[in-house]
Amino acid sequence: MPLVLGIESSCDETGVGLVRDGVLLGDALASSVDEHARFGGVVPEIAARAHLEALVPMMKRAVSAAGVSLSDVDAVAVTAGPGLASALNVGLAAGKAYATSLGVPLYGVHHLAGHAAADVLGHGPLPSPCVVLIVSGGHTSLLLVEDLVRRPIRHIGDTADDAAGEAFDKVARLLGLPYPGGPAIGRIAEQGDPAAIAFPRAKVGDFGFSFSGLKTAVARWVERHDGPVPVADVAASFQEAVADVLTARAVAACRAHGVTTLVVVGGVAANGRLRDLAAKRCREAGIELRIPPPRLCTDNGAMIAAVGDLLVAAGAEPSRPDLSADPSAV
Ligand code: KG4
Ligand code: ZN
């Protein structure tokens, strides 16, 4: 069985993973998240420089964790997009260099297919078709997936404005919580009342989302509030609004398309309330819920290797040597 090396560098995580026949053998991850904290969001130049510094050390660490040698690698998979152009270019340059020097094929991978494939590593092959809810700092989409190697990916719903993770980050900032906002809001929300404030649940079209109005509603509520802000209640009520709208629409999308498996992936899938509500609603609707383990929910190299593994198994055509970054790939 071929050994596939995966490289991820689309945002602020430098990930390297090694996968063989759907099994993760070893991976390594470095993050520049702390360097972006004081800017309240990812700064592309800082991310690109951090990838440059971290790539070779992560490569060495992943290879050693997998107990293999680089010369055992049969194919290289690298994120081609979507993502930050300057960050993607670092991973692509590395992917091309490793593929060329090892004399093995190179596969450009769609970042969202990577997120969905993370669940293959956690729970085995995905049933076809399934609905994938991808919720991260850059994306909020409902995908109808028949085959992870088939492009273009079919979007059945997207956010009209902010991504769910971006909303967590922005609301955390206005509540004075640290970046990234998702984990910080999740923690403090445990002490708050999710029913304390009725924040809006915006729906766009059949299965689309919108989070900018919710963010503005939180900002207005905080501005107008007299006295100390009940941060835990605001965080819990905000989190409830996001989890409610995401899970309601995902279940509705499954029903409308006659799909019985929902896969939730991306950084926000690490959110405890989202996981609990998705589990409850899927149980009630007779839908199987699959969520990868939290460490595979956020960006990582293993998920890119997982797509590469599927591409190799499907006999897909490798990418051309002049493969370039596609920052707004669909
Ligand atoms: O998938 P990811 O690592 O990177 C991309 O954006 O592709 O997702 C990062 C996002 C951030 O916005 C972060 O605030 C959010 O995921 N996040 C969470 C949690 N952990 C990370 N949001 C809510 N609850 C969490 N526990
Ligand atoms: Zn991502």
Per-residue pLDDT, 122: 85
Assess whether the C-beta atom of 182 lies below 6 angstroms from ligand 1.
yes
How many Å lie between the centroid of ligand 2 and the Cα of residue 74? 25
Quick check: 274 pLDDT over 90? yes
CA of 141 to the centre of ligand 2 (A): 12
Question: Ligand 1: does its nearest atom lie under 6 Å from the Cβ of 136?
Answer: yes
35-69 CB burial, b ≥16 within 10 A, e <16: ebeeeeebbbebbbbbbbebbeebbebbbebbebe
With 0.90 as the threshold, say if the pTM is over it. Answer: yes
SS3 (DSSP) at 208:
strand
Cα separation, 5 vs 73, whole angstroms: 6
- In terms of DSSP bridges, do strands 3-8 and 13-20 run parallel, antiparallel, or are they unpaired? antiparallel
| Model pLDDT for residues 198-212, shown as the tens digit of each residue | 999 998 999 999 999
- Given ligand 1 and candidates 298, 300, 328, which is best to mutate, with the most ligand atoms within 8 Å of its CB? 298
- Cβ(319)–Cβ(106) below 8 Å: yes
User: Under CATH, which architecture does the 3-115+297-313 domain have?
Assistant: 2-Layer Sandwich (3.30)
Provide the pLDDT for residue 104. 98
DSSP string computed for 20-33: ETTEEEEEEEEE-H
Q: b/e string for 216-251 if b means 16 or more Cβ within 10 A?
A: ebbeeebeeeeeeebbbbbbbbbbbbbbbbbbebbb
Percent of the chain with pLDDT over 70: 100
Residue type, 328: S
Nearest ligand to residue 168 Cα? 1
- Cα(311) to centroid(ligand 2), Å: 19
The size of the chain, in residues, is 330
Question: Which CA distances in Å does 167 have to 25, 47, 70, 219?
Answer: 34, 21, 40, 12
Q: What is the CATH number of domain 127-292?
A: 3.30.420.40
State how far the Cα of 280 lies from the Cα of 247, in Å rounded to an integer: 10
Any ligand 1 atom below 6 A from CB of 137: yes
Q: What is the ipTM of this complex?
A: 0.98
168 lines ligand 1 (CB under 6 A): yes
Whether the predicted pLDDT of 190 surpasses 90: yes
Q: Where are the domains of the chain?
A: 3-115+297-313, 127-292
Q: Residue 40: its pLDDT value, please?
A: 74
Question: Could you tell me if the CB of 180 is within 6 A of ligand 1?
Answer: yes
CA of 267 to the centre of ligand 2 (A): 7
**What is residue 59's predicted lDDT score, i.e. its pLDDT?**
98
Detail the DSSP E strand segments found in 41-139.
75-81, 106-110, 130-135
pLDDT at residue 52 in the model: 97
